[in-house]
Structure 1
Amino acid sequence: MIEVKNLSKRFPQANKPDKSARRDVRESEGWFNAVRNVSFHCAPGEVLGLLGPNGAGKTTTLRLLATALTPDSGTASINGIDIIDQPMLARRQIGFLSGTTGLYGRLTARENVEYFGRLHGMAAPQLKRRCDELFDQLQIHDFSHKRTDELSTGMKQKCSIARAVVHEPRVIILDEPTTGLDVMAAKVLLDFMASSKRAGIPLIFSTHHLHEVEKLCDRVCVINGGASVFDGTTAAFRQQGGGDIFDAFVDVINRTNQSNERSAA
């Protein structure tokens, strides 16, 4: 179970804001409030799609949840473990794919995954079984012997997924996992995510591809201007646009943009 309540994170602004420029509602007294008030939950066996325009705060939210950043306020827990009070314990529960591959170019695909498995303390027989299982699932046996700096974008992303989940995490967090992939590579990753759902693993992923949300997601959280502006079932979200998920997204973003503009005025 993943539970997030009123999460926030701010960063100091390097330069003074241009007073003549259009003011972002998240700017305040030399600070940029990247995440202001985000709440959502994801139960076992559910997939939650994290949506929002570029710069909305999705990646920062996922990095907070994955313990790569520490929140300034709010709470978040992974299977009852508080990520602020017990970040190391929470981290063992999480499989996190960031926006970058995080692979060592001079190692082969197999060596990369095995290396991260050993970092998680996996014994050799367990690690071999898990690697074989993941390489079957993600269809990466054919290039497992190649150095990762020689791999295509899709191959690297598959390897990165294997690296992120080699330790059999109890929750999975993916930041735009299919961006830049061709149709066949994206299908392999979506099938992997569907199999994790069937296994009862809570899974959160950010995306700009709304067809992925329709295909996989039980729940949707929309972030705009650093705050969650919708949190509910996919069916309820679709109704925001009269039954069309694309229209729902546009309508929610437009309404909150108008509200933010009035607040910043």
Structure 2
Amino acid sequence: MLRKIARYASAYGVWIVASLITLVPIYWMIIVSSRSRVELFDRPNFIIHTFFEQNYTNVIYDSTFRGYMFNSIIIATSNAVLVTVLALLATYALSRWRLAGADNIFFWTITNRMAPPAVFLLPLFLLFTKWFKIGDWMLFDTRTGLILLYCVFNLPFSIWVLQGMIDGIPVELDEAAMVDGAGTGMILRRIIIPLAAPGLAITAILSWIFAWNEYLFAATLTSVHARTITTGLAEFVTVTGTNWGEMAAVATLTLIPSLIFISFVQRYIVMGLTFGAVKE
């Protein structure tokens, strides 16, 4: 009995420590966003006694940062939808059809995530500004460019996430549907998508978060029109100092779309990560 209690106590202790490590920085960010510049440089205090709402109003009523937020929502959502659809089609083809070199194709796709993103900055900059240019139009500083770029980097990971789930769906279900006259499209709509819903949900949320939080490519390959909210945070660092309060307010506001998006698919997250992980 004592051993069981000790096991539960240690498990809860680890959970509490992990939660504190995760939540304390977020709580401190909220504290910083609620204080004026004078209060920030006073003694550290972990309790919110007053709320300096000007940090939020300055940001909310700023059309520039509203545009950054809108760009981030459009880019992240479009990327999540496109990546999820393409990953579903790719993993279904790799799982059901005997393609020449299918194992090599799967390994090649995941290797795209192994190199540091900074390695691709120069060739991507040339692609966006010179090679993919039609007249005055180019991919540089466009939402389309960032959506396609994030798809290139998120699609391999999404295929890897979905592969085990699609393989876990019995092929006999496809064969039974084909006997009844169903085509590939019907099989995907009526069988694969409903059964793979947890995996599709976790693929969508991870792709959305990766695109929402990405900074390096957004800062390098955008200038004015397609800048995202993560790149906007850098504008609070000026030669005269850093406006910590408004920066923390923007960072706090960026959590809201993530929380809303995750709330719709949270029940699928654990199921999607574990489904298909064990095979006989």
Higher strand share: 1
TM-score relative to the length of structure 1? 0.22
TM-score relative to the length of structure 2? 0.21
Determine which structure has more spread, i.e. the larger CA radius of gyration: 2
Higher helix share: 2
Looking at both structures, which has the greater relative contact order when contacts are Cα pairs under 8 Å and sequence separation is at least 6? 2
